[in-house]
Amino acid sequence: MKYNLPRIALLLFVAACTTQPKSEVESVTGEFLFYDNAAVLNTGSEIYGVVVDDKLHELHAQAITVQKDSFDMVQVYIKGVISENSNEEGWPQVITVKEIDSVAPSAPLTNQMIEIRTE
C-alpha cells in the first residue's frame, strides 16, 4: 500500500495537467470576406479561416447589405471560438462565429500618394 499511494498521486497529477482545448468565446474585430463557399477574417495581426455554418451564412447575409461588390471586405465585430484547423487546407487557425455584434463598411483608404522632392 505504501508504494501504491505515490503512484496514484503521480497519475492524478499527470491527468490534471493535461491541456484542455480552448473553448472560450472571444470578441474579435476585423475585415470579413465570404466568397465561393470560403470565408476569411483579417484582424490586422492575424488571419483566420471561418467555419462554414448557419451563423456564417447569417453574417454573410448582413455583410451583403454593405458590400460594394462581391470582393469588398466589410468590418465585422463578432464573438467566436478560435481553434486550430484540423484540415490540411486553409488557414492554421479557424474561428467559429457564435454571436454577431455588428457589420459595417470598411473605412476607405486615404490618399496614400508619395511625394518625391528634388532639391
pLDDT, tens digit, 9 for 90 and up, residues 85-107: 988 888 999 999 999 999 998 77
Q: Mean pLDDT throughout 66-92? A: 92
Residues 6+ apart with CB under 8 A from 106: 31, 72, 73, 74, 75
User: DSSP strand E in 7-105: where?
Assistant: 26-35, 38-42, 47-50, 74-84, 93-105
Strands 93-105 and 47-50: parallel
Confidence of residue 46 (pLDDT cuts 50, 70, 90): very high
The answer, yes or no, to whether residue 11 has pLDDT greater than 80, is no
The answer, yes or no, to whether residue 18 has pLDDT greater than 80, is no
Average pLDDT, the chain: 86
Distance CA 71, CA 38 (A): 12
Which domains does the chain show, CATH number per domain? 20-105 (2.40.50.140)
The answer, yes or no, to whether residue 22 has pLDDT greater than 90, is no
The answer, yes or no, to whether residue 119 has pLDDT greater than 80, is no
Q: Mean pLDDT throughout 25-51? A: 94
Cα distances (angstroms) measured from residue 33 to each of 3, 18, 24, 43, 111: 60, 36, 24, 12, 24
Per the structure block, which three cell numbers stand in for 92? 492554421
